[in-house]
A and B are shown apart, each in its own frame.
Chain A
C-alpha cells in the first residue's frame, strides 16, 4: 500500500465524515460546517494525486475547489441568517420555500 493510497483513503474518510454531518445534523449552521469538511476531502485528494504524479493540475483543482467553498460559505451563511428569523435555524422546520 503506497502513501497515495493511504492519503486517498483519508480523503474519502474526510468526505464521508462531512456527509454524515450533513445527513445527521438538523441545525443549518452545523450542516454548513459539515459541508466544509466534505469539500476538504477532495481538496486533499487532488493535492496528494498532484504530488504523486508530479503535475501541477492537482494544485489548480484545489484553487477551483477553494473558490467553490468560498462562494458556498458566503451564500450559505447569508441564507442561514435569513432563515433563522423564520425557522430558528432548524432545517426540518424549513419545509416550505417561499421567496
Chain B
C-alpha cells in the first residue's frame, strides 16, 4: 500500500465533506458523510494502519451513521422544509467562510516546511496497539471508557419517560 492511494482517498473524503456540510437535505448530507468516512477508511488501509481502518469502517461508517439514520427518519424533509433550509443557508455563509478562509492562511504557509525522507508507510500492528493502550496509556483508555459511560447515562437520562410527578413539574 502506498502514500499515493492514501492522498487520493483523503482528497475524495475532503470533497465529500465539503459537499456534505453545504447540502440543504439532511439525507444527502448523511450519505456524503458516509462517503467521506468510507474513503478515509480506505486511506487508513493504504497507510498500513489496518486496525484503524477496520475500526473506521465498523464503528464510524457503521454504528455512528446508523444512529444518524434513526434520527434522520424522524425529520421533516418536504419541499417546504428544504426551501426554508436553502433560505437560511443563503444568508448565513459569509462570516463563517471568512473565518475559515483566515484559518487557511497558516496552513498554506506551513506546506513547504519540514522536508523528510519518504518511504513506504510503516505498518501499525494491532498487537502493539493493544500493548500500548492497556499498558502505558491505560489511564487514557480508562478516561475514554468513563466518557462513554457518562454519555450512556446522559442518553438514558434525556430519553427517559417522565413519571406523573416529574411531568407536572416540567410541562411540555
Query: A-side interface residues toward B, CB under 8 Å?
Result: 1-14, 16-21, 23-27, 29-30, 32-34, 36-37, 40, 43-44, 47-48, 50-60, 62-64, 66-75, 77-82, 84-85, 89
Contact, CB under 8 Å: A40 / B55: no
**B120-172 at interface with A (beta carbon < 8 Å):** 121-122, 124-125, 128-129, 132-133, 137, 140, 144-145, 147-148, 150-152, 154-155, 158-159, 172
Which of A48, A70, A84 lies in contact with B151, CB distance below 8 A?
A70
CA distance A90 to B43 in the complex (A): 35
Given contact pairs A40-B17, A62-B49, enumerate 4 new A-B contacts (beta carbons under 8 Å): A19-B96, A59-B49, A59-B52, A77-B67
CA distance A4 to B92 in the complex (A): 34
Contact, CB under 8 Å: B72 / A29: yes
Q: Categorize the interface residue count of chain B.
A: 35 or more
Contact, CB under 8 Å: B89 / A25: yes
Contact, CB under 8 Å: B129 / A63: yes
Contact, CB under 8 Å: A73 / B67: yes
Query: B-side interface residues toward A, CB under 8 Å?
Result: 3-4, 6-7, 10-11, 13-14, 17-18, 20-22, 26, 29-30, 33, 36-37, 40, 43-44, 47-49, 51-52, 55-56, 59-60, 63-64, 67-68, 71-72, 74-75, 85, 88-89, 92-93, 95-97, 99-100, 103-104, 107, 110-116, 118, 121-122, 124-125, 128-129, 132-133, 137, 140, 144-145, 147-148, 150-152, 154-155, 158-159, 172
Some 25 contacts from A to B, beta carbons below 8 A apart, are A1-B115, A2-B115, A3-B7, A5-B114, A7-B3, A11-B10, A14-B10, A17-B21, A20-B21, A26-B92, A27-B26, A29-B26, A36-B37, A47-B43, A57-B132, A58-B49, A59-B51, A60-B129, A62-B55, A63-B144, A69-B64, A78-B155, A81-B71, A81-B158, A89-B75
